[in-house]
């Protein structure tokens, strides 16, 4: 398996319990050196563009973004639009993780360039397993432009 010393993941999730569960699953799988959790879309953009409280971070983009759809300040669709329209960021795999099963949300996010759309299960163990598998797929199995 590839060494993940330099891998960074961005987790944009406003639900603290879901975020803790996802981070725990990703840490257990040893998929990244750093997992940064942001609680809204504005903070996600600050992280990606190295501004605000993230102004001092390295401008190396994360290798993977887990993005909730419905977040405060700036929603996931707007964040996705911005990321996928930016030449420096558009190669980053973006996995939408949301409770929305609306066909219109699914269609819109894929139209905008989402790489995956996962409906969060209610069962916490299943959510942890899905997060771990999605991370493993995008960081270890899949070979794409961002690798």
pLDDT tens digit sequence for 74-113: 999 999 999 999 999 999 999 999 988 999 999 999 999 9
Share of the chain above pLDDT 70, in %: 94
Distance CA 58, CA 79 (A): 20
Give me the domains of the chain, ranges plus CATH numbers. Answer: 8-137 (3.40.50.2300)
Cα–Cα separations (whole angstroms), residue 140 to 42, 128, 132: 29, 18, 11
Phi, psi of 11 (to 5 degrees): -115, 110
What is the CA angle 69-74-76, rounded to 5? Answer: 20
3-state secondary structure of 75: coil
- Tokens describing residue 14: 């406003």
Q: In the structure, what pLDDT confidence band is assigned to residue 3 with cuts at 50, 70 and 90?
A: very low
Phi, psi of 83 (to 5 degrees): -60, -50
Phi, psi of 10 (to 5 degrees): -105, 125
Q: What is the pTM of this model?
A: 0.90
Q: What pLDDT does residue 5 have?
A: 59
């Amino acid at each position: 398996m590839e060494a993940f010393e330099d891998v960074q993941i961005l987790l944009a999730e406003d639900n603290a319990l879901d975020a803790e569960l996802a981070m725990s699953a990703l840490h257990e799988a040893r998929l990244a050196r750093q997992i940064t959790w942001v609680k809204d879309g504005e903070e996600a953009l600050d992280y990606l563009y190295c501004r605000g409280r993230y102004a001092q971070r390295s401008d190396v983009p994360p290798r993977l973004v887990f993005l909730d759809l419905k977040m405060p300040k700036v929603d996931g669709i707007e964040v996705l639009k911005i990321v996928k329209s930016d030449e420096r960021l558009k190669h980053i795999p973006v996995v939408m993780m949301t409770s929305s099963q609306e066909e219109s949300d699914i269609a819109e996010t894929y139209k905008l360039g989402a790489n995956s759309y996962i409906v969060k299960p209610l069962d916490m163990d299943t959510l942890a397993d899905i997060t771990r598998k999605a991370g493993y797929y995008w960081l270890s199995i899949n070979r794409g432009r961002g690798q």
